[in-house]
Amino acid sequence: MKSFTKLPLYLGLTVLVFSIILSVVKVSNQQAFTSTKTRANTSSASLILKYSTGNLVSLLLTSDKDVKGVDVTLKFNADKINILPSSLSGGPAFILSGGNIGPTNLFTFSAIAKKSSTTAGLVASFAVTPKSNSGSTNGDLQFVDSGTAVIDKAFGQNILGQTQGVKFTISK
């Protein structure tokens, strides 16, 4: 009989130790603290240049966050190609401003979302022409990191993560 009187005490201690071990294992398997912080700081927008027939270059945006504006600075070789700023036109969801060619072979413009924000689509397009009238001309347009930004709607911060320039050949 004496052994049965202490049975509830031992049984209670066993359940307590087992629940503590189970809680420790459950909490250590959850990585929500570190992954939430990392996910909040990652960039989530990309800008891609595409060349198509007719000597047209298009700027495409992809983002998983709402974007209210884009600033673009492109570097090009002015000895080989001309960018026609007068041909700069906005995509269906954007209004453009700028379209300036600087003295250091930089082409700059800005785009603002027509609605309060957008997440993807054609930002702008513009025409390029070869400097030389003979044969084919190789062109190269690359983003300048210090002058290119994608501004998010929520905090007004630059969320640009990736850019992809374009290399092309203009045939005459």
Query: Residue 150: CB partners within 8 Å, gap ≥ 6?
Result: 45, 47, 61, 63, 67, 69, 70, 158, 159, 160
27-39 pLDDT, tens digit each: 777 654 443 334 4
Quote the radius of gyration of the chain (alpha carbons, Å): 28
Percent of the chain with pLDDT over 70: 89
- The per-residue pLDDT for 28 is 72
- Cα 126–chain centre separation: 21
Does 121 score more than 60 pLDDT? yes
43-81 pLDDT, tens digit each: 589 999 999 988 999 999 999 899 999 999 999 999 999
Does 155 score more than 70 pLDDT? yes
Upper half-sphere CA count for residue 108 (Cβ side, 13 Å): 14
